[in-house]
Amino acid sequence: MNAHRFIQSPTHPSDITRNSIQVNVISVIDVARAAATGSLDGALMFVDNSVDQAGQPSPGRGTLSLVTQCNQGMVINWILETVGPYGTPVPASIRNIQFDEQVCFKLQTYGAVDVEHSPDYLPGVTPSYSYWAGLLRPDLKPKRYRYRIEYQIGTMVLGVSTPSLDVWDVPVQLAPSSTSTARERAAARIVG
């Protein structure tokens, strides 16, 4: 199966077309191992649903050093998926995400259980679809932004500073005007 078939524009095959204005970054944690060792070493990996400019998976997919490919103005969702050989021994959640500078608007947790309206809520049993999300600033300079992500696993707080977001420009398509130069019209034909 050729992945390019699904991400190329039918009218501009050389352009990468995102399948969404959102990217999901998923933390996969072996909660039993993290709880037993008090560490995320060997218990955590990151995956996402993004591709680079060549249409290949984000670099570092399946490792601690994921470099998620994204554009200004996209929504990034951080989701936690726990795994364990005998179920999840302790509750786990994303506690905090921090960048060195303001990269996202409204970077916060969303979707937690509303206990007041969930009378049958049982902590650690009732599914909670909480996740973190943020809108990448539209004026963000294209470059790589490292971040720290912390998890609450039972009573422990564990974190890593290895993942990053690689923000790149969306090509701007220019419409040729009657007053544009031949060079500008040629550039617009190449882009569009």
- pLDDT tens, position by position, 131-180: 999 999 999 999 999 999 999 998 999 999 999 999 988 665 555 555 55
Domain assignment of residue 148, given as a range: 4-191
Q: Of 1-5, 22-26, 47-51, which gets the smallest average pLDDT?
A: 1-5
Which pLDDT tens digit goes with each residue over 90-128?
888 999 999 999 999 999 998 776 666 666 767 666 666
- In DSSP terms, which residues pair with 147 in a beta bridge? 99
The CATH number linked to 100 is 2.60.40.420
Long-range contacts, stretch 6-11, CB < 8 angstroms, 24+ apart: 7/51, 7/55, 8/55
Percentage above 90 pLDDT, the chain: 55
Model confidence band, residue 1 (pLDDT cutoffs 50, 70, 90): very low
Q: Is the pLDDT of residue 14 over 60?
A: no
Domain total of the chain? 1
pLDDT of residue 156: 94
Model confidence band, residue 53 (pLDDT cutoffs 50, 70, 90): confident
pLDDT of residue 76: 97
Kindly report the average pLDDT of the chain as a whole number. Answer: 80
pTM: predicted TM-score of the whole model, two decimal places: 0.74
